[in-house]
Amino acid sequence: MAVNDDRAGSKPLIEKRSIDYIPEAERHGRLLSQFTLWMGANLQITAIVTGALAVVLGGDVFWSLIGLLIGQLLGGGVMALHAAQGPKLGLPQMISSRVQFGVYGAAIPIVLVCLMYLGFTATGTVLSGQALGQLFGVSDSVGILIFASVIVLVTVLGYRVIHFIGRVASVIGVIAFVYLFSRLMSQTDVGALLQIRHFSWTSFLLAVSLAASWQIAFGPYVADYSRYLPSKTSSVKTFFAAGAGSVIGAQVAMILGVFAAAMANGQFAGHEVAYIVGLSGSGATAALLYFSIAFGKVTISTLNSYGSFMCIATVISGFRGDLRVSRLQRLVFVLAIVGTATLIALLGQHSFLGAFKSFILFLLAFFTPWSAINLVDYYCITRERYDVPALADPKGRYGRWNPLGISVYVFGVLVQLPFISTKFYTGPLVEALGGVDISWIIGLVLPAALYYVCAKKWHSAVPDHLILPVEQDSDVQPETSGARRAAAQA
């Protein structure tokens, strides 16, 4: 792996790749970076708020913690299965959807993914703006603008800088959370809170859904951050590195949120950042915690902005038949994405908590069917045998539109509608189920089963092996390059 680290050190700071295939000569990094990136992305204020919602919206501490853990494991498993695709394909996550939806058809779920990224970037920017406003003694709106400027810079720099910030954020996050937990334990009787147990299916499944949706929402871009790993990297190890970092980081943050909300006596909603920092007192310690909150949000907000850039580039490239994106185009895309998210944050900052809960739950209706189709196809139908060059060719193996994938996806969205319970929409069967939202379970299981049965019978021809682009780099072994050239010509 030392060779790969040397390669990384010789590369320019600004990433030159975008949605195109990563040649073996440019692969670098260690599995530890997957763990630290996803732990750093989850040890942050929005995850705390998500955990707090389980209590704010009616759950007790004990069953909220159990429900959140179950949701983390279920959703984290889905997220980690996507992560394992990165080293094998050397591609961003959403471009692989062209196998299931067609080169043009993949734009359907990708556009929805872009909306998700905008929403998460905006809500994260609200909380970061609160932290920076307190830290620098300015308004929350000014704090939002400062934070947005940082996100633009880091997103433009790209992959290496994002992973570096992830490592730093994980260290800062661990220190901050250890301190906050120690302060929380000294201010409340945790044992007494855990003894209050009033089980409710509605509250319990809400906690499961909150955590599961949090993890599943990473699925559309998690492979973007594992695609530079050497292709021989173990899929199982990639699964556990990314999954463990995300599940552990999110669960720790959500546990803190649960306890903070339980002891807040209604003072948490609307003052999330100030309340969390208030656990530490004031002065220099509070300032450091405001900094750690803002820095922790840099990682995940950059992931969202970078993922948005990848998605927009994927949509445009599909219609023009070219995977290359210039640095100027990259800058324009990022400015447009972060600018839009910042505008949403400025307009919606005063009604954050309720809108955020409805937003992340409603997202499940659109992303669980996509995950189900993508994972079933990759692991059960094609079994990693993708024709990577054909992903850029509308006239190639995967065609412009794939009726099978698109039809199952639409079915997966529609079949959830009777079971969705959000402020945006409540299905007719929710009341009969006691107010429990089980749409995400329906959206995972039924589309997966339907796609598996149909694809087994009607799927287009699958290559005999993984076909990768011909590599023209001298660092590639001759026999490797020759094998891939023969595969590409097959």
Cβ neighbours around 460 below 10 Å, total: 13
Convert the pLDDT of each residue in 99-109 to its tens digit: 999 989 988 88
What are the boundaries of each domain within the chain? 30-362
Are the CB atoms for 37 and 225 separated by under 8 Å? yes
CA distance 452 to 201: 31
Helix ranges, 26-158 (H) = 31-42, 45-56, 61-83, 85-89, 98-101, 107-136, 140-157
User: What is the crossing angle of helices 107-136 and 140-157, to 10°?
Assistant: 130
Give the pLDDT band of residue 3 (cuts 50, 70, 90).
very low
Superfamily classification of domain 30-362: Hydantoin permease (1.10.4160.10)
- Provide mean pLDDT across the span 475-481: 40
Residue 387 — φ and ψ, nearest 5°? Answer: -100, 90
Of 113-117, 241-245, 338-342, minimum mean pLDDT range: 113-117
Cβ neighbours around 161 below 10 Å, total: 17
- Provide mean pLDDT across the span 334-347: 84
Cβ neighbours around 432 below 10 Å, total: 11
Which amino acid is residue 472, in one-letter code? Q
Partners of 426 in the beta sheet?
Answer: 421
Convert the pLDDT of each residue in 319-337 to its tens digit: 766 656 677 777 888 888 8
Which amino acid is residue 200, in one-letter code? S
Q: Provide, rounded to the nearest whole percent, the portion of the chain with pLDDT above 70.
A: 86
Q: Which of 206, 250, 255, 243 is nearest to 440 (CA)?
A: 206
- Provide mean pLDDT across the span 205-215: 89
Q: Which of 313, 343, 347, 342 is nearest to 150 (CA)?
A: 342
pLDDT of residue 416: 92
Mean pLDDT of the chain: 81
- 3-class SS of residue 124: helix
CA distance 444 to 446: 6
pLDDT of residue 447: 96
CA distance 373 to 265: 43
Convert the pLDDT of each residue in 143-176 to its tens digit: 889 988 888 888 887 777 887 888 888 888 888 8
Convert the pLDDT of each residue in 371-388 to its tens digit: 999 999 999 999 889 998
User: What is the crossing angle of helices 352-376 and 107-136, to 10°?
Assistant: 140
Please enumerate in sequence order all residues whose Cβ is within 8 A of that of 456, keeping only pairs 6 or more positions apart, or say none: 381
Are the CB atoms for 165 and 302 separated by under 8 Å? yes
- Provide mean pLDDT across the span 356-385: 83
- Provide mean pLDDT across the span 12-33: 79
